[in-house]
Structure 1
Amino acid sequence: MARLARLAAPGLPHAVVQRGHNRQPVFLDEEDYRLYLTALREAVLPLRTALHAYVLLPGEVWMLLTPSQPDGLSRTMQAVGRRYAAAFNRRHARTGTLWDGRFRAGVVEPARLVTAMLAVETLPQRRGLVGQIDAWRWSSLAHHLGRRHDTLIHDAAPFWALGNTPFDREAAYARRLEEGVSGAEAEALESCALKGWAWGSAAFVAEVERTTERRAQPRPRGRPRKQAGEAPGQPSR
């Protein structure tokens, strides 16, 4: 079966994940994390790709990005991946592939973007890397809580809608963080990114399929349902 083209919809948020080859670490020390963020800055700004949230984990990177061009997501990820891999190999005197093939991505409905941001930024705790939810340094969580200004981050309309002032937005985000992300929501975001589907309402998924001319969710399993009045054993038309 031919592989589906990557789902890409300019102007909409995308959940993006890239993992190390054979699950190997892609960050070995603090300087590696800094180098990746530098490479990311050099990629997103020229291509006008908006970065809404990110987390760098030892063996993988998760981000929420909105490309402004049809090929913006691919160009952004190719640029950051190549720059960082070259720097990583030089620093650690190694050669060969760093990343596990193509990056993976799915489209997120803007109405679910804040939930997606929380799911991304709380990954370190869910993976058991830290005890306290805000203890992981290499994410955009501190920015959204107002503890530092991260110039990499472009605050999207759903985040601005949390309040009229920066303090209001940060307080509302902190409340959402305290409420937590459900297991179903976290699983839905991961499935969206890793399997290349759209995460959102039925109307949103239908619109993504219309504009991209590509299936945006998996087909239902099993045989098609029979139409009303169809006799048992009669094939569907």
Structure 2
Amino acid sequence: MSYGEFPSWRLPRLYLPGCAQHVIQRGNNRAACFYEKADYKAYLSFLKDAAEKYRVAIHAFVLMTNHVHLLVTPSDEKGISRMMQAQGRKYVQYFNFTHGRTGTLWEGRYKSTLVDAENYLLTVYRYIELNPVRAGMVVHASEYPWSSYQGNALGKPVQLLTPHPIYSRLGSTEVERESAYRALFRGRMPERDLAAIREATNKAWVLGDERFKGQIEAKTGRRAAPLGRGGDRKSAAFREVKNQ
């Protein structure tokens, strides 16, 4: 387990080999990081190379105009950070050269959270691939070309993707899995799920049930969720949470 590098006022990232993570990478000052079709293709190509090099399995993704969501599982504690650094560098070089610009492109610190696979993994799949729908860019996830829905739900070849074991349990054949997966997208996501995913990812908490959070706390020695309202409001821990 590794915490990774982090400013003293922020919670450290958690890296547990074999544990899924939801990762968000944003454009600097929310500026666009994709201008045209070739940009999306270049990003996915660089991401694939970096994921293979650092042995990170990518289960779901969506490339929005000014940010990216990934659902990944690392093989070791440094895989995700190395992957993000490698593809980030290459894409910035490509983007600046192609569009005649200079300077940074990405927000300095990508955000991530550990995901309780048994209880939340498919919810995060759905959250990621429904981003274009929530943004009003398309009516249905199938209409957006730059997400893993094309592979997970429609069976289109996406070399970047590695099915998570939870996804594989959806059916005994590819057709059965894709049909069961599409069924998950009927109706809207509950607001409580949206809120839970956003809070956990943006604040570096753990996304899972109490048992899972307890397991993560035992392994890492770091709190997996904010203190309840009954906590000591004068403690350093409370001040840390308040300032998130």
1:220 maps to 2:228 = yes
Give 1:224 shift: 4.7
Q: Write out aligned runs for 1:1-237 (5 A).
A: 2-111=9-118, 112-224=120-232
Name the % identity: 37
**1:123 Cα deviation after fit:** 0.6
How far apart, CA to CA, are the structure 2 residues paired with 1:212 and 1:150?
Answer: 34
Q: How many residues are treated as equivalent by the alignment?
A: 225
Q: TM-score, normalised by structure 2?
A: 0.88
Gaps of 5+ in 2: 1-7, 234-244
TM-score (norm 1): 0.91
Secondary structure of the 2:62 match is strand
Given that 2:28 and 2:104 are in contact with CA atoms closer than 8 Å, whether structure 1 keeps it comes out as yes
Q: Distance in 2 between matches of 1:185 and 1:72?
A: 27
Tell me: higher relative CO, structure 1 or 2? Use CA pairs within 8 A at least 6 residues apart: 1
Distance in 2 (alpha carbons) for counterparts of 1:223 and 1:50: 38
**Structure 2 letter corresponding to 1:106:** T
User: SS at the partner of 1:134?
Assistant: helix
Counterpart amino acid of 1:127? A
- After superposition, what is the alpha-carbon deviation per residue over 1:90-126, rounded to whole angstroms, capped at 9, x for unaligned? 1011111101111000010011111110110001000
Distance in 1, Cα, partners of 2:37 & 2:209: 39
Looking at structure 2, the residues matched to 152 and 32 of structure 1 have their Cα atoms a distance apart, in angstroms, of 16
Output the aligned Cα RMSD: 1.5
Identify the range of structure 1 (128-137 vs 67-76) with the bigger mean alpha-carbon deviation: 128-137
Q: Can you list the C-alpha shifts for 1:176-204, whole angstroms capped at 9, x where unaligned?
A: 11144222112211222211111111010
Shift of 1:70: 0.9
Q: Which amino acid aligns with 1:69?
A: D
Matching residue of 1:233: none
Question: Of the two, which has the highest radius of gyration?
Answer: 1
